[in-house]
Amino acid sequence: MVTVSDAEHIIQQQVSAYGVEQVPFEQALGRVLAQDLRTDRPLPPYDRVTMDGIAFRFCDFARGTRTFQIMGTQAAGDAPLEITQENACMEIMTGAALPASVDTVVRYEDLEIENGVATVLVEQVRKGQNVHRQGQDKQQNEVVALANQLVTPALVGMAAAVGATELPVKKLPKVVVISTGDELVEVHQTPAPFQIRRSNSYLVKAALQAYQVEPDLLHLPDDLATTKDQLQRCLAQYEVILLSGGISMGKFDYVPQVLEELQVQKLFQKVRQKPGKPFWFGRHGNGALVFALPGNPVSTFLCLNRYFLPWLHASVGLPTKQEVFAALATDFRFPPDLTYFLQVRLQYSDQGQLLATPLEGNGSGDFSNLVEADAFLELPQERDRFEKGEVLRVWPFKTIW
Site for a second copy in 242-301 (CB under 8 A): 245, 248-253, 295, 297, 301
CA 88 to chain centre: 53
Q: Identify the residue among 50, 87, 101, 232 touching a second copy (CB under 8 A).
A: 50
Q: Kindly tell me the burial class for residue 341, based on how many C-beta atoms sit within 10 Å of its own C-beta (0-12, 13-18, 19 or more).
A: buried
User: Per CB under 8 A, does 117 bind a second copy?
Assistant: no
Residue 191: CB partners within 8 Å, gap ≥ 6?
Answer: 185, 197
User: Per CB under 8 A, does 103 bind a second copy?
Assistant: no
Q: Which is nearer to a second copy, 80 or 232 (CB)?
A: 80
User: Per CB under 8 A, does 73 bind a second copy?
Assistant: yes
Half-sphere exposure of 189 (CA within 13 A, CB side): 12
Q: How far apart are CA 102 and CA 114, in angstroms?
A: 21
Q: Identify the residue among 38, 107, 174, 270 touching a second copy (CB under 8 A).
A: 107
Q: Nearest-CA neighbor of 307 among 199, 207, 169, 181?
A: 207
SS3 187: coil
Q: How far apart are CA 294 and CA 276, in angstroms?
A: 6
What minimum distance in Å lies between the beta carbon of 398 and a second copy?
Answer: 6
User: Per CB under 8 A, does 225 bind a second copy?
Assistant: no
User: Per CB under 8 A, does 145 bind a second copy?
Assistant: yes
User: Per CB under 8 A, does 113 bind a second copy?
Assistant: no
User: Per CB under 8 A, does 170 bind a second copy?
Assistant: no
User: Per CB under 8 A, does 45 bind a second copy?
Assistant: yes
Q: Which is nearer to a second copy, 215 or 284 (CB)?
A: 215
Contact region for a second copy (CB under 8 A) — 1-9, 49-57, 259-267, 279-287? 49-57
What minimum distance in Å lies between the beta carbon of 249 and a second copy?
Answer: 4
Q: Identify the residue among 19, 64, 116, 193 touching a second copy (CB under 8 A).
A: 193
What minimum distance in Å lies between the beta carbon of 333 and a second copy?
Answer: 20
User: Per CB under 8 A, does 318 bind a second copy?
Assistant: yes
Q: Kindly tell me the burial class for residue 208, based on how many C-beta atoms sit within 10 Å of its own C-beta (0-12, 13-18, 19 or more).
A: buried
User: Per CB under 8 A, does 115 bind a second copy?
Assistant: no
Contact region for a second copy (CB under 8 A) — 12-20, 142-150, 225-233, 234-242? 142-150
User: Per CB under 8 A, does 105 bind a second copy?
Assistant: no
Q: Which is nearer to a second copy, 232 or 277 (CB)?
A: 277
Q: Identify the residue among 23, 147, 156, 359 touching a second copy (CB under 8 A).
A: 156
Neighbours of 136 (CB within 10 A): 13
User: Per CB under 8 A, does 199 bind a second copy?
Assistant: yes
- By the 8 A CB rule, do 276 and 292 touch? no
Q: How far apart are CA 283 and CA 263, in angstroms?
A: 8
Q: Identify the residue among 6, 82, 86, 109 touching a second copy (CB under 8 A).
A: 109
- By the 8 A CB rule, do 262 and 256 touch? no
Q: Which is nearer to a second copy, 126 or 188 (CB)?
A: 188
- By the 8 A CB rule, do 89 and 51 touch? no
What minimum distance in Å lies between the beta carbon of 263 and a second copy?
Answer: 26
Q: How far apart are CA 214 and CA 345, in angstroms?
A: 28
Q: How far apart are CA 29 and CA 45, in angstroms?
A: 25
User: Per CB under 8 A, does 78 bind a second copy?
Assistant: yes
Contact region for a second copy (CB under 8 A) — 4-12, 15-23, 259-267, 352-360? 352-360
Q: Identify the residue among 207, 218, 329, 344 touching a second copy (CB under 8 A).
A: 207
User: Per CB under 8 A, does 181 bind a second copy?
Assistant: yes
- By the 8 A CB rule, do 132 and 44 touch? yes
User: Per CB under 8 A, does 182 bind a second copy?
Assistant: yes
- By the 8 A CB rule, do 217 and 317 touch? no
Q: Identify the residue among 1, 9, 108, 383 touching a second copy (CB under 8 A).
A: 108
Residue 250: CB partners within 8 Å, gap ≥ 6?
Answer: none
User: Per CB under 8 A, does 205 bind a second copy?
Assistant: yes
- By the 8 A CB rule, do 50 and 106 touch? no
